[in-house]
Amino acid sequence: MKIYLDGKYVSEDEAKTSVFDHGLLYGDGVFEGIRLYGGRIFRLEQHLDRLLNSAKAIMLTVPLTKEQLVEACCETCRQNKLKDGYIRLVVTRGVGSLGLNPFRCKNPTVFIIADTIDLYPDEVYRKGLKLVTASTQRTSPAAVSPSIKSLNYLNNILAKIEAVNAGADEAIMLNSQGHVAECTGDNIFVVRRGKLETPPVSAGALIGVTRQVVIELAVKRDMDVSEANLTRCDVWTADEVFLTGTAAEIAPVVNVDGRIIGSGHPGPLTLKLTEDFRKLTRTDGVSIGAK
Q: Are 230 and 177 in contact (CB under 8 A)?
A: no
| Separation of CA 48 from chain center | 13
149 has catalytic annotation: yes
For residue 13, what is the DSSP state?
A: G
Among the listed residues 2, 16, 56, 149, the single catalytic one is 149
Distance CA 21, CA 44 (A): 27
What end-to-end distance do the CA atoms of the chain give, in Å? 16
User: Between vectors from CA 74 to CA 47 and to CA 208, what angle results, nearest 5°?
Assistant: 15
Distance CA 19, CA 25 (A): 7
Count of residues in the chain: 291
SS3 assignment for 176-217:
CCCCEEEECCCEEEEEECCEEEECCHHHCCCCCHHHHHHHHH
Instruction: Indicate which residues carry an active-site annotation.
Output: 149
